[in-house]
């Protein structure tokens, strides 16, 4: 019972719709009605500017990090199997699902990139720093945040396997599931990338479009 309550708490923490609230409270704007329509840090930079966007990024990373760190309990035991699954992984997924389908914002949330970086930082900080480096280089080369986020998503399990020689099967499976989840949340971006219509990242805010 306690574990279910804690997973629910992680979902509620992830559900805090940072970009939607920052936009509505400080600018009277719902960022989901402008730019890419995404409730995330990138679109907040696009619509409202760098300072609110970076603030959203920091809070969203913290949601993922705190869900995994603060709510930590002992590992899950699957009855009769002798198997333990790392409970932190469930908390990370719960926080991500909260962010993507937030109960506090009509279930229309973000794509989970910033939250996922907080989750993976809590699980493996060094691998996450490498992946962050890959993300930055990819943004600089391609100028596509969405593409870079998907590349980062798949880099995390690959860095775990090939750089850190991780053998923990539940961590690796979890990392691949999350990379696939990133493809799912970026479906519209993938369509735009294929058509050559995806917007390239720039620090200048474009205003309400």
Could you tell me if 159 and 192 are in contact, meaning their C-beta atoms sit under 8 angstroms apart?
A: no
Residues 6+ apart with CB under 8 A from 132: 117, 152
Could you tell me if 20 and 105 are in contact, meaning their C-beta atoms sit under 8 angstroms apart?
A: yes
Residues 6+ apart with CB under 8 A from 110: 19, 38, 39, 40, 41, 60, 99, 100, 185
120 binds ligand NKO, rule: CB under 6 A: yes
Q: Give the range of 2-10, 20-28, 78-86, 111-119 binding ligand NKO by CB under 6 A.
A: 111-119
What's the residue count for the chain?
Answer: 209
Residues 6+ apart with CB under 8 A from 80: none
86 binds ligand NKO, rule: CB under 6 A: no
128 binds ligand NKO, rule: CB under 6 A: yes
Answer for which of 90, 153, 157, 174 binds ligand NKO (CB under 6 A) is 153
57 binds ligand NKO, rule: CB under 6 A: yes
Report the SS3 class of residue 127: helix
Q: Which residues from 66-85 bind ligand NKO, rule CB under 6 A? A: none
Q: Give the range of 9-17, 63-71, 77-85, 106-114 binding ligand NKO by CB under 6 A.
A: 106-114
Contact positions vs ligand NKO (CB under 6 A): 36, 38, 40-43, 57, 111, 113-114, 116-117, 120, 128, 131-132, 135, 145-146, 149, 152-153, 156, 182, 189
């Amino acid at each position: 019972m306690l574990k279910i309550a804690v997973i629910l708490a992680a979902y509620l923490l992830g559900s805090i719709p940072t970009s939607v609230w920052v936009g509505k409270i400080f600018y009277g704007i719902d960022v989901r009605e402008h730019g890419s329509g995404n409730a995330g840090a990138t679109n907040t930079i696009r619509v409202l500017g760098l300072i609110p966007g970076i603030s959203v990024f920091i809070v969203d990373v913290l949601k993922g990090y705190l869900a995994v760190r603060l709510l930590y309990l002992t590992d899950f035991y699957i009855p009769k199997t002798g198997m333990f699954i790392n409970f932190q992984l469930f908390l990370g997924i719960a926080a991500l699902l909260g962010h993507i389908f937030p109960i506090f914002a009509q279930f229309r949330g973000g794509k989970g990139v910033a939250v996922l970086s907080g989750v993976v930082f809590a699980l493996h900080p060094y691998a996450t720093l490498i992946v962050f480096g890959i993300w930055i280089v990819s943004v600089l080369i391609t100028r596509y945040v969405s593409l870079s986020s998907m590349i980062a998503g798949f880099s995390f399990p690959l860095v775990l396997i090939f750089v850190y020689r991780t053998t923990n099967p539940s961590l690796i499976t979890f990392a691949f599931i999350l990379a696939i989840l990133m493809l799912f949340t970026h479906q519209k971006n993938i369509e735009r990338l294929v058509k050559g219509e995806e917007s390239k990242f720039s620090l200048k805010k474009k205003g309400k479009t």
